[in-house]
A and B are shown apart, each in its own frame.
Chain A
């Protein structure tokens, strides 16, 4: 009986700790709003006419930073909506890019390294994991096009975009840490649509 009481108390403390790390529903909502805002900015910036052939996937960089720092403010529905908006505005295969982003962000949330973002030593494994999952937004549309016998870009083009994205991720992380200085949240609190599940 006493042990059960002690266990319940520990669980309550853990929940309170997670809630404290997450910052409560108001901070979660603000963080979600900031994600949508920065996602829209990333889409707008990537659509601007630039004299470069292979721009990095800025939207993935923003979502990856959020998935690592505040996984419970990175709901799958928001990721999907941003990915679909990007697909439709950019002329890319509709839905394929959104699916790739969804897979990448969900993979990042699951494989998020412990103590992510705490100092440079904490960021190196994060960069590695992000580098691994950054392939999904490029490879998934390529695979779908190939499977459906649609003309697909050369794999070298995909690789160049992937490399540009991996290189751009630390820069995006620093810029977002400066622009949106939000506290890291608990990796255990994950949600489909806002709030902790």
Chain B
């Protein structure tokens, strides 16, 4: 009798266990389905979890990251002499470019002054450190320690010193997730210079993403520069992306300017697509209004740290040269 009761209890426990497992499997599949159909909601869930857990996890991930950087430093140390030689050569080349850039900057400032051009103060940035890296095969993204409190918004472009890194796909209070250009879901409208051919850079988990929708390859050659086209208004135009790496019959490939495996810091751009000009007054001020335009203007998003772009025609011609895409940026370095 007791044995029968015990057997019945065991059977019931087994049944409950199977039901529990089935329920967990259903929940997992439901979450997967939600991720497929409603990605932004899952992203918000991800960022809420990251805000809650990542600060306490830093104690573990930082020593591991330091170990990783030790390995990287050792690799760099082993070929330091070659790097030194290469850097000296590079410095010589860059000195020539610096002189050319100064001349161009001077000429540019003079021409702008002649035309009374007022540049729209629409870009600022926030700099953050990469604190987590998804090294798995299913996604290519990183987490950075800047979030909504730093003015980061969904869809913003992320760059480093070499070029475009990716775009922000999730924003928490203190953290953001950046989808790298190599991820499956990454699509960036680009153009190839100097031909100006438009294409879409499509990530496929390889180090060299595809150049999709490249209508014709006439005039396109391996080694030509690729920059963002600005089509769609998500990314600012003319951010460096990389170079054309291969031109095949099936698809062209791009070699990215950024080495995603050695990312340490990224800048998230606070850029707003310029609104359509309603008339010439929007862009070129008559002479009597230029003095008013030179007064400090408020940052476009109301962020006090995003400096206004004072009218460049009032800037001294000897202003340091700056890249076109960050000509009006303001730094907000996070300590």
Contacts and interface: CB of A to CB of B under 8 A. Distances in A.
Interface of A: 7-8, 11, 40-41, 43-55, 76-77, 80, 84-85, 88-99, 102, 106, 138, 141-142, 144-145, 148, 150-154, 157-158, 160-161, 190-193, 197
12 contacts: A48-B65, A52-B135, A54-B135, A55-B135, A88-B46, A89-B143, A93-B139, A94-B32, A94-B34, A95-B35, A157-B137, A197-B17
| Interface class of chain A by DSSP | helix
Contacts of B30: 95
Contacts of A91: 46, 134, 139, 141, 177, 179
Contacts, number: 171
B206 to A, nearest CB: 8
Chain B interface mostly helix, strand, loop or mixed?
helix
Contacts of A151: 184-185, 204
A197 B131 contact: no
Interface string B181-223: 0001100000000000000000011000000000000000000
A150 B49 contact: no
A21 B289 CA distance: 87
Contact of A48 (B25, B132, B139): B132
Q: Which of B3, B46, B61 has the most CB of A within 10 A?
A: B61
Given A49-B65, A84-B28, A92-B134, 6 more contacts: A46-B135, A77-B20, A89-B49, A138-B137, A144-B32, A154-B137
A135 B263 CA distance: 30
B71 interface: yes
The interface size bin for chain B is 35 or more
B304 interface: no
A89 B31 contact: no
Contacts of A144: 32
A93 B136 CA distance: 11
Contacts of B54: 89
